[in-house]
Amino acid sequence: MTKKSYLLLITIISALGGLLFGYDTGVINGAQFFLSKYFNLSDALKGWVVGSALIGCFFGAIIAGKLSIKIGRKQSLIIAAVLFTISAYGSGLPSFFPETVSTLVIFRIIGGLGIGIASMNAPMYIAEIAPSAIRGKMVTYYQLAIVLGFFSVFLVTYFIGNNLTQAENINFGWRRMFWSELIPSLLFLVLLFLVPKSPRWLCLKGKTKQAIAVLNKLQDETKALADFNEIQLSLQNESKANTKVNYFSKLILGIIIIGTTLSVLQQFTGINAVLYYGADIFEKALGFGQEDVLKQQIVLAFINVVFTFIAMFTVDKLGRKPLIYIGCLGMIMGFLLLGISLQQQHVGMVSLVGILIFIASFSLSMGPVVWVLLSEMFPNKIRSVAMSVAVSAQWAANYVVSQSFPIVVGSDLNTNSFWNGSLPYFIFIAFISIILIVTYKLVPETKGKSLEQLENIWE
């Protein structure tokens, strides 16, 4: 196997954590209609079942930083894979588990813990093994895996649901939807034993011979030695400068705040409101029937995949910031089409095109690029902790959006004769406009620089 092929293989394996992130997020979308009827859930309980995994994601991301430092990126991903597997099996509520909403929520939270741990460690691991010239493309595999997971679970749940009667889906179809996640979660768990440990983590732990061996497997010996020396110099400088990192120093706290703000704003674009409640949007706002809703969801997921591919092949050429600018302008245009059509009560093809333009623009920009920036913008000495803070804040923001979106949609203000259901989309436009300002003023361009070189951009 060539070094290039080996790098691609371990990148794809690591990115499977993203596929499970997307799969787990999507499976509840497909299953919730039927399990809600099975358990006769109120709107509040339905929101709790759907959103409970995000609680696990939040706490998983919080513990991921220390876990990553202590046992490494690879071992952390193995733990995440085990949690995914437990959650997938338990969420189907096999006969020996109590058939209660509380039991289901517990297993959803366990899955969330896995997502939280993987969402921090997978992109960071990929960034730490990838050569600087193609690091953006390699990290984008993580976002691609997320959208592929989302796309595949739509197909799987559609296939399961379409081959059963409604009564069968309510009785046991939703269980099969959850259990279908066992296939990718077990595959992820087994394949992780093939990937090496992060060379930067090995150097941090003083395991220099192992670090050099890993770097030599990934690139030619000259480049591997240069990277190793750069890592060692960076660690030595950190050791001389500080025996203990002061996270509240003006410089470090400022870096963490910038990364966290960007991470949170990714959620306030409204992406997960569209993904989590896509079926409701298509049915209620756009007037599509139930069969049309499933088809539109598959189209939505397909566009997500296509434009993530475009981002993958342009992020190292155009740079991170230009993609954010292009994507934000597209997202604003998409939500303007949707918002104005709703406001003017001319719902139809223009509304659908607006949603699809929004999805395409997000998939081109804030989806993959934020993960790329988070994995590379933090200095070595704070990367694990800073990523943990930024990603946990992102999950908290995800929870806020997913819980508040249906409340805003159903509010008297949104349903009055002026807004006509369009208010949430104009709120999202305001946040997307803030992203443009934050990116222009505060976010550095990281294209083509090594992780060690990037430490100097903050000085």
Asked whether residue 223 is domain-assigned, the answer is no
Contact call for residues 303 and 330 (beta carbons, < 8 A): no
Place of tokens 């989309």: 425
Contact call for residues 360 and 308 (beta carbons, < 8 A): no
The C-alpha atoms of residue 239 and residue 219 are separated, in whole angstroms, by 27
Distance of CA 304 to the CA centre of its chain: 13
Give me the count of residues in the chain: 459
Asked whether residue 296 is domain-assigned, the answer is yes
Q: Which residue has the higher pLDDT, 393 or 131?
A: 393
Burial zone of 190 (CB within 10 Å; 0-12 exposed, 13-18 middle, 19+ buried): exposed
- Condensed to tens digits (0 to 9), the pLDDT of residues 274-314 reads 876 666 677 666 666 656 656 766 788 889 899 999 999 99
Contact call for residues 373 and 259 (beta carbons, < 8 A): yes
DSSP 423-436: HHHHHHHHHHHHHH
pTM: 0.86
Asked whether residue 350 is domain-assigned, the answer is yes
Asked whether residue 210 is domain-assigned, the answer is no
Residue-range definition of the domain harbouring residue 141: 3-195+242-458
**Mean pLDDT throughout 418-437?**
95
Q: In this prediction, what percent of the chain has a pLDDT beyond 90? A: 61
Q: How confident is the model at residue 249 (pLDDT cuts 50, 70, 90)?
A: confident
Closest CA to 122 of 215, 60, 165: 60
Three-state secondary structure along 157-203? HHHHHHCCCHHHHHHHHHHHHHHCCHHHHHHHHHHHHHCCCCHHHHH
- Condensed to tens digits (0 to 9), the pLDDT of residues 160-170 reads 988 999 899 99
Read off the DSSP letter of residue 197: P
| CATH code of residue 112 | 1.20.1250.20
The C-alpha atoms of residue 16 and residue 398 are separated, in whole angstroms, by 21
- Condensed to tens digits (0 to 9), the pLDDT of residues 13-61 reads 999 999 998 998 888 877 888 998 999 988 778 878 888 898 999 999 9
Helix residue spans in 285-422 (DSSP H)? 290-312, 315-318, 320-343, 349-364, 366-376, 383-409, 412-415
The C-alpha atoms of residue 375 and residue 383 are separated, in whole angstroms, by 8
Domains identified in the chain, total number: 1
Asked whether residue 234 is domain-assigned, the answer is no
pLDDT, residue 381, reads 79
Q: Terminus-to-terminus CA distance in the chain, angstroms?
A: 41
Asked whether residue 370 is domain-assigned, the answer is yes
pLDDT, residue 83, reads 97
Contact call for residues 108 and 91 (beta carbons, < 8 A): yes
Annotate 325-341 with b (16+ C-beta within 10 A) or e (fewer): bbbbebbbebbbbbbbb
Asked whether residue 347 is domain-assigned, the answer is yes
Asked whether residue 204 is domain-assigned, the answer is no
What are the tokens at 391?
Answer: 């990603």
Contact call for residues 355 and 279 (beta carbons, < 8 A): no
